[in-house]
Amino acid sequence: MPPDNPRRSAIDAVVRVTRDGLALEPDAGFFGQLPARERGLAREIATGTLRFLSTIDALLLSCMPRPLARGRHFLWAVMRTAMYQARWMRIPVHAAVHEAVELVKNSPDRPKAGFVNAVLRQAVLVDPTGLWSGLQDPAARLSLELSYPEWLTRRWLARIGEERTRARMEAGNREADLTLRVNTLVADRDFFIDFTNGRPFGRDGVVVDTPGPIEEIPGYREGWFAVQDGAAQWAGRLLGPAAGEEILDLCAAPGGKTTHLAALAGGKARIYAVDRSEVRLRRLRENLARLRVDGVEVVVGDAVADDYLPDMTFDRVLVDAPCTGTGVIRRHPEIKWRRGVEDPCRMAETQRRILESAARRVRPGGVLVYAVCSLEPEEGEDLIAAFLAAHPDWRRQPITVEEGVPVQAITGEKDFFSEPGYEGMDGFFLSRLCRR
């Protein structure tokens, strides 16, 4: 099988996620060797397999005379991706099984080709509802039916109940629309909507239907748009950058929010984009160049260590904090399997330190927006409540419907919170704070 085969690339990606714990990010080098159109197929197979991973595994295990060792990562990935293609992509069963067996025959696991053939031919015929229909424990049943780790299912059940948990999980299993943000520094949104036959979203967003690579959407090379979810677009808009201001964007790479801040200020603000990852900052610089954004100084720095731009303060600060990412599972299904029960509290401690550092950089009267693509209260409302209790010189600046924010996305505390899929958005928490 040639190395540029999209199905083999999908298998390799599943191995690297399940064995090495990597995320399906461009920086990790996934699918880069493939032609543009085949990258889409490889990504669809890999992400779909990871989306339904535990259900696929249960189907496979039900047909194994003896469980295959979990350390046989390649064999598991071959069977998992074949099952996804046959059951969810509607690839003909004989084609999916044949290719899987051929891949094994041409690998060091050749002696297992017969085993793979027998298991797959049985597993594709199993009625999956029989695996969970008799389970009385709601967490076990939902986890198996909707393919989520049980620890996360139990956490959500305890916090929001079974009806909302099911809705959240089902939304996370649906593929997200492709939402673009028109770069108003160089393009007109109405023209772009007509040009692409897209649908408007918010003030700057456009939802497009495209079967091909993003690079083939008209205007990509000209810098007319950036890929940015609708909820993420609210981060910059709620910060409200203006011409002449000095703005700090923390944890800025790969630059979607940085370039939005520049556009919102009409290209007339001075923006400092800080991130600790040199690799991710390369992508930020590429995005600045493609979108033709000036006035941004790119800075290598650690938001926790506060080792960047000594003694500088700013009019506005955006904190796009690292988080568990449970609000973007529909785009990154591997998150389900890369997180553990301790992660929300662990991430909250990092976020607290970043927020403390960022707050010291805000001038009196200045504004800070804290953003996470997480659904966990430890990383959102609980963190903000603790910060405000400990800092009497700060207050919440309420988010309102008058700003155009959907009413259901405004919490009782006047923060922003979106469930995955609500009005087409990812799950996000945003809080806007003002220094007295």
Q: Within a 13 Å sphere around the CA of 77, how many CA atoms are in the beta-carbon half?
A: 22
pLDDT band at 4, cuts 50/70/90?
low
pLDDT at 341 over 60: yes
% of the chain at pLDDT higher than 90: 92
410 phi-psi bin (left φ>0, alpha ψ -120 to 50, beta other):
beta
**The pLDDT of residue 213:** 83
Per-residue pLDDT, 27: 54
Min mean pLDDT across 28-32, 175-179, 210-214, 270-274 is at 28-32
Q: Which residues pair with 272 in a beta bridge?
A: 248, 297
Mean pLDDT of 21-50: 84
Amino acid at 259: T
SS3 readout for 325-394: CHHHCCCCCCHHHHCCCCHHHHHHHHHHHHHHHHHCCEEEEEEEEEEECCCCHHHCHHHHHHHHHHCCCE
Q: Does domain 6-129 have CATH number 3.40.50.720?
A: no
For residue 28, the model assigns a pLDDT of 56
pLDDT of residue 399 exceeding 80: yes
**Can you name the residues that pair with 207 across neighbouring β-strands?**
179, 199
pLDDT score of 212 more than 90: no
Q: Which amino acid is at 129?
A: T
For the entire predicted model, the pTM comes to 0.95
Task: Give CA separation, 262 vs 56, 190, 229, in Å.
Answer: 44, 20, 17
* Per-residue pLDDT at 2: 42
pLDDT at 3 over 60: no
Residue 242 predicted with pLDDT over 70: yes
- pLDDT, residue 1, reads 42
Question: Can you give the pLDDT at residue 215?
Answer: 87
Cis link prior to 65 (omega < 30° from 0)? no
C-alpha separations of 26 from 23, 37, 97, 361 in Å = 9, 16, 29, 31
CATH of domain 228-435: 3.40.50.150
Assess whether 251 carries a catalytic annotation: no
Helix axes 278-290, 256-264, angle to 10 degrees: 40
Residue 40 pLDDT: 86
Average pLDDT over residues 379-403: 98
Q: Report residue 327 as tokens.
A: 């609000």
What is the SS3 assignment for 85?
helix
Say which of 63, 323, 345, 373 is annotated catalytic. Answer: 373
Taking only the tens place, the pLDDT of each residue in 138-151 is 999 999 999 999 99
Average pLDDT over all residues of the chain: 95
Asked whether the predicted pLDDT for residue 136 surpasses 70, the reply is yes
The answer on pLDDT for 410 being more than 90 is: yes
Assess whether pLDDT exceeds 70 at residue 241. yes
- Reported as a single tens digit per residue, the pLDDT across 60-70 is 999 999 999 99
Rounded CA separation 261/320 (Å): 13
**Percent of the chain surpassing pLDDT 70:** 98
pLDDT at 31: 82
pLDDT at 210: 80
> Are 236 and 432 within 8 A, CB to CB?
no
Mean per-residue pLDDT for 193-213?
A: 91
Given a cut of 80, whether residue 99 has pLDDT beyond it is yes
- Complete DSSP assignment for 234-251: HHHHHH---TT-EEEEET
Q: How far is CA 86 from CA 45, 80, 125, 420, in A?
A: 11, 10, 10, 27
Indicate the helix (H) or strand (E) that contains 6. helix 6-20
Q: Tell me the sheet residues that pair with 225.
A: 182
**pLDDT value at residue 90:** 85
Q: Inform me whether the pLDDT recorded for 172 exceeds 60.
A: yes
pLDDT band of residue 120 (cuts 50, 70, 90) is very high
